[in-house]
Amino acid sequence: MERTLVSNVATTPDICKTLYFWWIAYLRCSSDYWWICKENGQCDDERLHRVWKHFGNIFEYSTVLHYWRERAHRLFDSPQQSLNFEHDVHVPRGISLLDPKVVSGACEDKFYISVDRELMREAAMNAFQRIWDQALISGRRRTHDALFQLSKFDPKSRSTIIDAYCANVIEDACNKSHPRETFHRWGGYEKARFLNILGRMSATAVGTVALAQKSQDRIRALFCSKKTTAERLIANAEIGLFPCRAVVPITRRWTRLQTRRLKHAIASHEWRPRGWILGEHQFLLPHLDLSPDPMSPRTQPEILAAVKNFSGLDSSQLGKP
């Protein structure tokens, strides 16, 4: 999917199969990126400012498809190198592509069409648009100079990108849930079991209580490692790298006043309010239902359903051509 022309990925389910989808999702998990959008680009970190300059305010779009159609090709597609007009394109009568060899004084780097004089102007313009669009799709593109390129990563870690995202959001959901909700008391073990990120480890079918406790401790450690991975992926997305887990050098981003205002916004839950994941689900996965009854109120179990929809996304195509 990653070598497919980004502008050709036209539906939300197809966007979900790309690493670019997760790049956008992780960037929306960044409090600093949210803040630079609030501050209209006012930031002392040139790395973050560059990302904001090109990615724009991703929080002002209604859906990822809306954002994708407007921004993705400028971010992730390589510039056009050449056009290809050799593919057959259905055009109305009265329009035809000409072989440059039959055109007197033709140049090799140009293409020529003939148009019947009786053809309506609108039909001629529509035909030309179809020919041009096909030429863009089938033409060659430079392969290594897209504005933002994916980092090299181990294909075996595809599922980790999704697991880490879900660990990050379920931690937030549990912390901000009502104390009476059962999942408010979940620890790392219960969260890992809910997300089914146990890997080969299991706390069942063990011989003794001691062995069961040891297995649960390993699962808790696994969940913590997923949260750490999410933090690393978010930090790298902030500086234009994905999927990268390298340690990002810290530099000052905000003035003292901006820092105080950001801390207040986080403490007052302006950033990631309760039920925040429902908004992310609406933006990133609008094609997936949360409830059989669309008129039902948004309850806490619906939050878990949203997390489950993210964890259920297919990771097998991530990073593949």
pTM of this prediction?
0.77
pLDDT of residue 297: 44
Residue 4's pLDDT band (cuts 50, 70, 90): low
Residue 132's pLDDT band (cuts 50, 70, 90): low
Nearest CA to 258 among 27, 19, 36, 6? 36
- Specify if 231 maps to a domain: yes
Domain that holds residue 102: 95-138
Q: Are residues 70 and 114 in the same domain?
A: no
Computed over every residue of the chain, the mean pLDDT equals 84
- Specify if 270 maps to a domain: yes
The mean pLDDT of 261-267, rounded to a whole number, is 97
Torsion of CA 310, 313, 316, 319, to 10 degrees: -60
Phi, psi of 35 (to 5 degrees): -75, -40
Q: Are residues 188 and 253 in the same domain?
A: yes
- Specify if 84 maps to a domain: no
Q: Are residues 154 and 222 in the same domain?
A: yes
pLDDT of residue 41: 97
Q: Are residues 104 and 224 in the same domain?
A: no
Q: Are residues 43 and 162 in the same domain?
A: yes
Q: Are residues 73 and 121 in the same domain?
A: no
Give the tokens for residue 266.
Answer: 């986080």
Q: Are residues 131 and 270 in the same domain?
A: no
- Specify if 203 maps to a domain: yes
The mean pLDDT of 162-190, rounded to a whole number, is 93
- Specify if 320 maps to a domain: no
pLDDT of residue 296: 44
Most confident of 22-31, 97-106, 132-141: 22-31
Number of domains in the chain: 2
The mean pLDDT of 51-73, rounded to a whole number, is 95
Q: Are residues 292 and 201 in the same domain?
A: yes
DSSP assignment of 29-53 equals T-HHHHHHHHTTT--S-HHHHHHHH
